[in-house]
C-alpha cells in the first residue's frame, strides 16, 4: 500500500502516519523527520535544511526530492510506504509521479487531513517530540506522557521543536495554503483523494483513515 498524507502543520500527519505504517506493515517516511535526523547528526544537508525550516519555508526541491527518492528506494519500502510531509508542492508531486512511473509503481490513496486552524495552533503549541525517535509524538494536554519530559515508549527526552514558535507556525500555515494545498487538486484529478476529518481522538482518526483506504473497511 502506497499512501500520501497531506494536511496543515499540526494536523496529526506524523501521529497518524506512524500508526498507519505499523498497521499496514510498511515504513513511515517523513521528510521533516529525515531533515531533523540529518540535523542531529550534523550533516551538511541538515545544516542547509535548518535555515529554511527555522523560517517556516520549504527546503528547496533539489535537496528534498533526492533525499525522499533515496529513502523510497530502500528495500523496506519495496512493498509500500506512508509518506508524511512529501510531496509538498506541485513540482514535488510531479517528481513523485515520475519516480513511481519509472519503477512501475502507483499510489493507492492520498489522505487529506482536515483540521480547523485554531485547533492546529493548539496542537502545535503543546507538541512534545522524542529526541531518540521523532515518530514518538506527545501533547502536553491531549496526549501527555506519564512522566513529564520523558517518552513513554523508549524513555527518551522530550523536547519542543524550534520551528514551533508562533511566528514560524504562522509562516508554515501560509506556505501550506499557497504551495501545498494545490497538490490536493493534482491528486483529485487522479481520483486518489480521501478527505479525513482529523478532529476527535487519535484512534478515531486512524479508524476513519483505515476505512477510507482501498480494500479496507
* Contact window for Zn ion (CB under 5 A) among 49-57, 113-121, 132-140, 163-171: 132-140
- How many Cα atoms occupy the beta-carbon half-sphere of 118 within 13 Å? 0
Pick between residue 104 and residue 118 the one whose CB is nearest to ligand AP5.
Answer: 118
Catalytic residue list contains 128: no
Beta carbons within 8 Å of 72's beta carbon, 6+ residues apart? 29, 81, 99
The annotation status of 52 as a binding-site residue, yes or no, is no
35 alpha-carbon distance from chain centroid: 12
168 binds, among ligand AP5, Zn ion, none (CB under 5 to 8 A by kind): none
Q: How far apart are CA 4 and CA 2, in angstroms?
A: 7
Asked if 73 is part of the footprint of Zn ion (rule: CB under 5 A), the reply reads no
Catalytic residue list contains 208: no
Asked if 88 is part of the footprint of ligand AP5 (rule: CB under 6 A), the reply reads yes
End-to-end CA distance of the chain: 15
Q: Give least dist CB 176 to ligand AP5, A.
A: 7
The answer to whether 88 touches 60, Cβ cutoff 8 Å, is no
Binding interface with ligand AP5 (CB under 6 A)? 7, 9-15, 31-32, 35, 52-53, 56-59, 64, 85-86, 88, 92, 123-124, 126-127, 137-139, 142-143, 163, 172, 201-202, 205
Amino acid at each position: 500500500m502506497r499512501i500520501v498524507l497531506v494536511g496543515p502543520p499540526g494536523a496529526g500527519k506524523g501521529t497518524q502516519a506512524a500508526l498507519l505504517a505499523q498497521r499496514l506493515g510498511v515504513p513511515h517516511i517523513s521528510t521533516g523527520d529525515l531533515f531533523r535526523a540529518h540535523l542531529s547528526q550534523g550533516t551538511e544537508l541538515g545544516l542547509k535544511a535548518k535555515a529554511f525550516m527555522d523560517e517556516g519555508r520549504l527546503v528547496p526541491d533539489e535537496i528534498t526530492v533526492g533525499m525522499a527518492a533515496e529513502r523510497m528506494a530502500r528495500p523496506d519500502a519495496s512493498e509500500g510506504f506512508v509518506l508524511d510531509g512529501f510531496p509538498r508542492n506541485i513540482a514535488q508531486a510531479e517528481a513523485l509521479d515520475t519516480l513511481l512511473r519509472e519503477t512501475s509503481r502507483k499510489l493507492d490513496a492520498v489522505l487529506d487531513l482536515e483540521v480547523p486552524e485554531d485547533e492546529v495552533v493548539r496542537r502545535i503549541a503543546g507538541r512534545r517530540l522524542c529526541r531518540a525517535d521523532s515518530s514518538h509524538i506527545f501533547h502536553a494536554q491531549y496526549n501527555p506522557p506519564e512522566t513529564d519530559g520523558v517518552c513513554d515508549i523508549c524513555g527518551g527526552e522530550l523536547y519542543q521543536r524550534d520551528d514551533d514558535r508562533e511566528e514560524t507556525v504562522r509562516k508554515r500555515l501560509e506556505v501550506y495554503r499557497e504551495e501545498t494545498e494545490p497538490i490536493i487538486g493534482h491528486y483529485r484529478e487522479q481520483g486518489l483523494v480521501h478527505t479525513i476529518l482529523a478532529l476527535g481522538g487519535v484512534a478515531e482518526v486512524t479508524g476513519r483513515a483505515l476505512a477510507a483506504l482501498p480494500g479496507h473497511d
